[in-house]
Amino acid sequence: MRQAHAVERAVGMEYYVSDAPGVGGHLRASPEDFRVTEIEAFDPEPLDADPGGYPHLLARVTLHRWDTNDFASELSDRLGISRERVSWAGTKDKHAVTTQLFSVAKADPDALRDVEISGVDIELLGRTGRPVLFGDLAGNAFDIVVRDTDASENAPAITDDLRAFATGDESADALADDADETTVGVPNYFGQQRFGSKRPVTHEVGLEIVRGNWKGAVLAYVGSPAEREPESTRDARAYVDETEDWAGALERLPRRLGFERSMCHRLVERQEAGDGDLDDEDYRAALEAVPSNLQRLFVNAAQSYAFNRILSERLDRGLPFHEPVAGDVVCFSDSDAPDGIALPDTDRTQRVTEDRLRTVRRHCERGRAFVTAPLVGTETELGDGEPGEIERDVLDDLDLSPEDFDLPDEFESTGTRRAILLRTDLSVEHGTDGAETDDADALSFAFSLPKGSYATVVLREYLKRDPEDL
């Protein structure tokens, strides 16, 4: 294993599991170099179905350089409807070409078909009885070009390492340059974007929330300057840390930091309405000044950080990822998943005992079961044996316990479990056949991942670069 970059270690990703040096290079030299297509798990009725029983139009939309939220707002404006009538299955990056499902409630099919927006292609699929909701997809297929590589010749050795990690077979033969897809595996880390590349603090905010330190959570988000930020931003955050002067912070924080400014504004209001002193209730109110999805993200990031730490500790101890040891908790595969993608069903779990170990290992080998680790919440039951020891050690180090997640409103989380191994059939090719710009030194990657997993977690093993330089 190789030690990861410092910014990755800060969010719990301690290692690369491939020993081979990286290829270098850059992601997203243009949005067209990062193509994402949802693997759909939604069957519509025909367009001529009864709109009373099936009021939602389902569309497959390809977006060129569009943020998902921005497109939803633009589409609702063009149709003259409320933004709340537009729903989608997964949020995608603006710096990409994405094909994904959207639904529009009580819309005219002809009006939707006639919408013309630059960089947008809309294909009507039919009608549904409910809106598309977050998670209504099985996964995503990726076609990604990495440009400006320094050592593309290292790619086969990296693939060889990742194939061995996927199966536990250290004797895997080196991959030929012209080989077809091969199965590779990496730890199913939460990627850097979960926490922030320039300033990875969302988990720090979440940890303070879960510990009941509402003031500390606000300071972690509004203060805590990072070296990678512009100097004016660093100065404003440092002022917050030094003075806790919220009115002064409003004067100094750049306008683009809208969420930080919302928190400061709420605190100033509370000071003016009271005697000037602030308590836990006031700081919690400041955190509730931001959108509810961001409130949930703070706690989710804390869970993700603990999960990453658990995976890194498992690597440190040399425990396998592709098969369980006694004490692990496994989940089984989703029998309704589309062909070609293994989708863990974390609602179906089983503890692995010594007498069941051989049987469960066979299930894992055949892709019918997956070793898991906890995303800790109020209903979390930790593992036994050495896996349970790892989970408890990490939580103790973070001063966390499952009951700490019994929090008010959007901050509460019951928790779940998540597969620890991310396995996929992957192809790597030299050059950029089919890309808009030819580049003989580039590498083209094609693979699919289950929902909730990160393409960058696969690609970091190949590039081995600071996430900010990707």
- Evaluate whether residue 176 is within a structural domain: yes
- Active-site residue set: 93
Please check whether residues 157 and 8 belong to one and the same domain.
yes
> Do 429 and 414 share a structural domain?
no
Q: Both 339 and 373 in a single domain?
A: yes
160 CB-near residues (< 8 Å, 6+ apart): 20, 172, 173, 174, 175
Determine, yes or no, domain membership for 342: yes
| Alpha carbons 313 and 116: distance in angstroms, whole number | 51
Any domain includes 196: no
Handedness of CA 420, 425, 431, 434 (dihedral sign): negative
Do 114 and 220 belong together in one domain? no
Q: Same structural domain for residues 7 and 148?
A: yes
Considering 242, 266, 290, which residue would you say is the last residue of a domain?
Answer: 290
- The pair of structure tokens assigned to 279 is 């308590």
Domain presence at residue 442: yes
pLDDT by residue, tens only, the chain of 470 residues: 899 999 999 999 999 999 999 999 999 889 899 999 999 888 899 999 999 999 999 999 999 999 888 899 999 999 999 988 999 988 888 889 999 999 999 999 999 999 999 999 999 999 999 999 887 888 999 999 999 999 999 999 999 999 999 998 766 554 444 445 699 999 999 999 899 878 899 999 999 999 999 999 999 999 999 988 999 999 999 999 999 999 999 999 999 999 999 999 999 999 999 888 999 999 999 999 998 889 999 999 999 999 999 999 999 999 999 999 999 999 999 888 877 788 899 999 999 999 999 999 999 999 999 999 999 999 999 999 999 999 999 999 999 999 999 999 999 999 999 999 999 999 999 876 544 555 778 999 999 999 999 999 999 999 999 887 77
Tell me how many degrees the CA angle 405-406-408 measures, rounded to the nearest 5.
110
Is the residue at 195 inside a domain? no
Here the CATH number for the domain that contains residue 85 is: 3.30.70.3160
Q: What is the predicted pLDDT for the residue at 177?
A: 43
Residue carrying structure tokens 């990742």: 162
How far, CA to CA in Å, does 446 sit from each of 17, 27, 180, 332? 20, 14, 11, 26
End of a domain among 135, 165, 180?
Answer: 135
The answer to the question of residue 393 being in a domain is yes
The pLDDT, as a whole number, for residue 370 is 97
CA distance 271 to 359: 62
Say whether both 315 and 167 belong to one domain: no
Asked whether residue 193 is domain-assigned, the answer is no
Same domain flag for 276 and 415: no
Q: What are 15's strand-pairing partners?
A: 3
Residues 112 and 155 in one domain: no
pLDDT of residue 441: 82
467: left (phi over 0), alpha (psi -120 to 50) or beta: alpha
CATH of the domain at 377: 3.30.2350.20
Last residue of a domain, one of 233, 263, 290: 290
276: tokens are: 């000037």
Same-domain pairing of 268 and 396: no
- Do residues 91 and 100 touch, judged by C-beta distance below 8 A? no
Same domain, 410 and 305: yes
User: What angle do the packed helices 258-273 and 280-287 form, to 10 degrees?
Assistant: 150
Strand partners, 429: 444
Give me the phi and psi of 16, to 5 degrees please: -100, 140
Q: Which CATH number is 242's domain given? A: 1.10.1510.30
The total number of structural domains that make up the chain: 4
- For residue 154, count other CB atoms closer than 10 A to its CB: 18
State residue 340's pLDDT score.
74
Contact 42, 57 (CB under 8 A): no
Reported pTM:
0.91
Position 37 in a domain? no
Residues 22 and 160 both lie in one domain:
yes
Q: Are 138 and 441 in contact (CB under 8 A)?
A: no
Rounded Cα distance between 187 and 458, Å, is 9
What pLDDT does 180 receive? 55
Do 144 and 25 sit in the same domain of this protein? yes
Quote the domain boundaries for residue 52: 42-135
